[in-house]
Amino acid sequence: MSKKIVSIQLRLIQNILLGILLVVSMLVIAPAFPAHAASYVVSTLNDSGTGSLREAITAALAT
């Protein structure tokens, strides 16, 4: 075999192994970060205080 063919074969094997590594790492990492939705009720148009949008944002950022 010529050096060019061996080089192409090695590059192909390397790309396949990198692809497998990428898929496996995604399968390992993906379940580690589940997303959880939360509901915050805004019941007043006031700028601050109980039920205000500002309080809901502050509560969301605290979690």
- pLDDT, one tens digit per residue, over 5-62 is 888 899 999 999 999 999 999 888 877 667 788 899 999 999 999 999 999 999 999 9
Joined tokens for residue 39: 């509901």
Handedness of CA 48, 42, 57, 63 (dihedral sign): positive
pTM score: 0.45
Beta strand ranges found along the chain (DSSP E): none
Distance CA 62, CA 12 (A): 48
Q: Which pLDDT band holds residue 1 (cuts at 50, 70, 90)?
A: low
**3-class DSSP assignment, residue 7:** helix
